Every structure is written in C-alpha cells, then in structure tokens.
Structure 1
Amino acid sequence: MKAVLAAAFAALSLSGVALAQDDTYVHPARSDGADLPDGLAHTVFASGCFWCTEADFEKLDGVVEVVSGFTGGREDNPDYYDVARGRTGHNEAARIIYDPSVISYDELLHHYWRNVDPFDEGGQFCDRGSGYAPGIFPVSAEQHAAAEASRESVQALFERPIIVQVRDLTTFWPAGIEHQDYHETHPARYTRYRFGCRRDARLRQIWNGIEEG
C-alpha cells in the first residue's frame, strides 16, 4: 500500500517542501556512529513503514533526529521499490539519533515495543512482505545485550512467540529526501495512510491492559 502511495506522490515530494528535512544525517551510516558529534548516540529500529517509525520516535524528548532508511540486507544503496518488493533483504528502518543524558537506550526500547506488532511474521500492519519486517539493530555490545534482555521481558508478557529479531547493525542506508519527515511534509496523506493501515488500532489491541512485571 505505501509503495503505491509513494509512487503517486513522488513528483510532489521532490518539491521544495521536502527540503524541510535537515540533511545533516541523511547519508550512509555505520555502527560506529563516526558522523555523530560528542555526546550523541544512535541506534536503528524497524517497525514497518519508516514514515511511521520516524514519526513515533521524533516525538520523544532527547531524540535529536530520526532518519528513514534501510538496513539488514545485502545491497549497497538499495532502491526503495526493490526493498518494498522484498528483493534486497533490507528492512525499512529508522536511525534514531539521541542524547543519552536525556533519554536512555532502555527507554527507546520500551517505546519501540509499544509501537510494533511483535507477532507479525509477514510485515507490519497493512504493509506486507519482508521489507516491512520488524527488527532491532543495536550498534554496540551493550545495546545488543539490552535489546535481548528487553525482548525476553516482552516475551514474558505474552504466550504467543515474539518474532522480532535482534541483529547487529552493519550499514544504515538513508531513503530519498522525499521520504524524510513525511509526517510533517505531507501531514494529511500521512494521517490517511496511518489510519487506513489501522496501525494505532492494532497497537491498542496488543498493548492496552498489558501489565509489566
């Protein structure tokens, strides 16, 4: 569904309105975060549509920037449509750049779980296929250990198996500028897409009433 919308709006997205995104971090990034200024950290999450993942994380205090892109696959500079069609092994994902003195990695993990369907093996919400599979991509041994522990704690809340994988980040490839900050540059279209996918309805169905130990 999202790939069809993206094709329809591509020409408009390349107009000046899309330049609202600060392109400081819109470039390939590796796990070492060499492009980050002192005091900032990063990580990568996949929860289906990267427009939605980006919007979900940008609302958090301590998150400096979120970049929509791809990771986990075998191709350099993957094409958006090839990812959407499951041809590259990549997931749509978002790179989260944050200030760890304001928000911790554990808090980011908690927010991630509340914004993903952890049982869906075929994609996420209305977007189907391996390109929309969920995943956690830590950038260090410390993040990896925390992600695994978080996954175990979430699994303890449910009888159904959690299918979200934890896979160390290699390279994060940013999507085109037309996909960055889509919820801000095309708010009406984004809202229709998110509502039409019933993303928030499904999240409420999963997480409302869940008691954490």
Structure 2
Amino acid sequence: MSETNNNYQKATFAGGCFWCMVQPFEEMPGIISVVSGYTGGTTVNPTYKEVCSETTGHYEAVQITFDPELFPYTKLLELYWQQIDPTDPGGQFHDRGQSYKTAIFYHNEEQHKQAEASKKDLQDSGKFNAPIVTEIKPASPFYAAEEYHQGYHRKNPTHYQSYRRGSGRGAFIEKHWGEEAAH
C-alpha cells in the first residue's frame, strides 16, 4: 500500500510518552503508519532535547496514517482513550509537564466533531470520577522525532517494557479497561 492514497487520513494523538503510543495502533487493519513526533509548539523542527526542556510548547505525539474504510476514526478514538489517563492535567503517569499532556489534534471538522462526541461520551460514562481534561485542538505542524525514537518498543523491548511497567501506565490501563487493553 502506498502512503499517498487519497483516501488515507491522518490522526494525531498526544498521550504522554510517545514510545507507549505506537504499539497499540500499529499492525491493526487499515493502519498504514504510526510515527512518533512533536506537535502543538512554536519551534520549527524541534529536537527531543528541546521538547524535553519544556520551552517549545510541543507535545510528544503520534501521527497515524490510516484508511478510514478499514479503520474508522471513531475506532481510533476508542483505542486512544484506552491508552491514557484522560483526567490528568499535568502529564501522564510519572512523566510530568507540557510535553506529556494529552490532546487530540483534529485534521478536519468531521474529526473535530467525532473527537468532541467521544470525549463527552467518555465523561458521561462514569468510568472516571474526575473530569476528562484531554484537550481537543486543531492539528498543527507535526515533526517526526529522531530515528532512535521510531518503533522504540521493537528496538529496545526490555527497556520499553520496564519503562511502561515502572511508569504505571500498564496498571492504570488494566484497572480501567481490562487486562487485554493493557498489553
């Protein structure tokens, strides 16, 4: 499949450490690519070090190229909510600061409507006792992270698993969404 297919769309999600946001989406039918990177900030083509300095305004995020005929955006949203703590305004798990906050970056008005509806549905579900604070924002320039961050869970599986467990992400997901969602 070519990434230039006119039917393909992009979805951009910030969910804390981008290492943990790739694996849940890849290898699903209709997912063409998942790229770790930076978005939402002011610096052009920032580095990891610059983003971590909390001076650029960027979020760590993943940008997903997908075929909406095979994997609709609403399904991506469902999967996204199951990867994060949407009630945490200061980051995700043990990662704190602007670059680790959660946000959905919509690429068109239909995505905007679907993201707002999914956020409202999650809030109304009563699954969480605190308000859903994940922001929904228009997409802005996305910069791919350095190559060593791409597919990190495959390149460094032992470190990745240790990080995911140690951060509390896996336990949180299992508690709120079940064991199957936590892996």
Return the letter of the residue paired with 1:150: S
Match of 2:119 among 134, 151, 154: 151
Match of 1:170 among 118, 126, 140: 140
Asked if the contact 2:47/2:146 (under 8 Å) is kept, the reply is no
Give, in whole Å, the separation in 2 of the partners of 1:187 and 1:91.
23
Matched length: 176
Q: Is the aligned partner of 1:84 residue 2:52?
A: yes
Q: Percent identity?
A: 41
Asked if the contact 1:105/1:143 (under 8 Å) is kept, the reply is yes
Q: TM-score, normalised by structure 1?
A: 0.78
Q: Which residue of 2 aligns with 1:110?
A: 78
Q: Which residue of 2 aligns with 1:54?
A: 22
Classify 1:54/1:38 alpha carbon distance in 2 versus 1 (closer, same or farther; 3 Å): same
Return the letter of the residue paired with 2:168: R
Query: Which consecutive segments of 4 or more residues in structure 1 shift more than 6 A?
Result: none
Q: Which residue of 1 aligns with 2:167?
A: 197
User: RMSD of the TM alignment (CA)?
Assistant: 1.7
Gaps of 5+ in 1: 1-23, 25-34, 209-213
Give, in whole Å, the separation in 1 of the partners of 2:101 and 2:168.
17
Asked if the contact 1:43/1:138 (under 8 Å) is kept, the reply is yes
Give, in whole Å, the separation in 1 of the partners of 2:158 and 2:177.
26
Gaps of 5+ in 2: 179-183
SS in 1 for 2:25: helix
**1:60 Cα deviation from its structure 2 partner:** 2.2
Structure of larger gyration radius: 1
CA deviation map 1:176-197 (0-9, x unaligned): 1110001111111111111111
SS in 1 for 2:56: coil
Identify the range of structure 1 (56-65 vs 145-154) with the bigger mean alpha-carbon deviation: 56-65
More strand by share: 2
Give, in whole Å, the separation in 2 of the partners of 1:53 and 1:147.
17
Asked if the contact 1:70/1:172 (under 8 Å) is kept, the reply is yes
Return the letter of the residue paired with 1:99: D
Asked if the contact 1:69/1:173 (under 8 Å) is kept, the reply is yes
